[in-house]
Amino acid sequence: MARRPMMAANWKMNKLVGEAREYIEQLLPRIEDAGGADIAVFVPFTALNEVARMTRDTPIVAGAQNFYYEDSGAFTGEVSAPMLLDIGAGAVVVGHSERREVFGETDEMVARKAVRAVSAGLLPVVCVGETKEERDSGGMWEKVSGQIRAVFDHLGDETSGGDIVFAYEPIWAIGTGDTATPEDAQDATGKIRGLLEEVRGEDFAGAVRILYGGSVKPENVGEIMAQEDVDGGLVGGASLKAESFAELVNAASNAKSG
């Protein structure tokens, strides 16, 4: 099944509102010919309102980097799905390794967030990936498969493959310049698709987009996108400049055509 490529920027904790505005102004004219890919920009909460406003009626989807799965109540400091929808967000990153490692998010919390995002009509990009130690000790697949199985322990059967995106982000490749080889990226994303098929069947697995994340940049995006089970990228550092993110978007748009 043909899956539409997706290129996603994760700004992490970067950019003031004025910088966000300038970035979107620079990005929009540079992606005019990128009709072959979905484009998402995951921005800090403080910039989300403005980015969502500026990207309305454009091919760019504005997204949050996190949210909480309850809709309202005594959860100081948290933001809910209805709040994100209210300001025009269309997607959300769930379970980024920095949330898991720095803020203690568990597989269970990540699964609840993924489920709530889907039911709210927000596209979740669910991040999974292993540490260097886990990879070196042969525990990569145990970690990654456990993270994914936890999501399917909670996700209802009515969910279709197009409602959820996974991002394989090996922690050792994030922000290190130490990109996974294209073969490593294919190995992991292929295994993930195999697991999706096991838990939800072929049609579901064939429709889910699986992104690769970890030191993606214009110089390596082509060989990563060329892998059969890699449907796009989730990009930190190289997404912070509109010019370089636009190159990645255009590469994704061209990668799977023909």
Please give the positions annotated as active site. 96, 169
Alpha helices (runs of H) in 11-44, residue ranges in sequence order: 17-30
Is 11 annotated among the ligand-binding residues? yes
Contact 42, 66 (CB under 8 A): no
Given the rule CB under 6 A, which residues bind ligand 13P?
10, 96, 169, 174-175, 213-216, 234-238
Do the Cβ atoms of 181 and 199 come closer than 8 Å? no
What is the nearest approach in angstroms of ligand 13P to the Cβ of residue 214? 5
**String of b and e for 27-62 (b: at least 16 CB within 10 Å)?**
bbeebeebeebbbbbbbbeebbbbbbebbeeeebbb
By beta-carbon proximity to ligand 13P, the closer residue of 177 and 258 is 177
CA 108 to each of CA 10, 83, 112, 141: distance values in angstroms, whole numbers, following the listed order: 23, 22, 6, 18
Tokens of 225: 């996108």
Q: Is 236 annotated as a binding residue?
A: yes
User: Measured from the CB of residue 221, what is the shortest distance to ligand 13P in angstroms?
Assistant: 11
Tokens of 178: 């130490």
Q: Where are the alpha helices (DSSP H) in 62-139?
A: 81-86, 97-102, 107-120, 132-136
- The closest residue (CB) to ligand 13P is 236
146 bridge partner residues? none
Asked whether residue 10 is marked as a ligand-binding residue, the answer is yes
Residue found under tokens 């130690």: 133
Ligand-binding annotation for 14, yes or no, is no
Tell me the C-alpha distance between 115 and 103, whole Å: 20
Closer residue to ligand 13P in complex, CB, 126/155: 126
Pick 24 or 128: Cβ nearer ligand 13P = 128
CB of 177 to ligand 13P, least distance (A): 8
Phi, psi of 78 (to 5 degrees): -100, 165
- What is the nearest approach in angstroms of ligand 13P to the Cβ of residue 85? 22
Closer residue to ligand 13P in complex, CB, 55/215: 215
Minimum distance from residue 197 beta carbon to ligand 13P (Å): 25
As annotated, the binding site includes 10-12, 175, 215, 236-237
As annotated, the binding site for substrate includes 10-12, 175, 215, 236-237
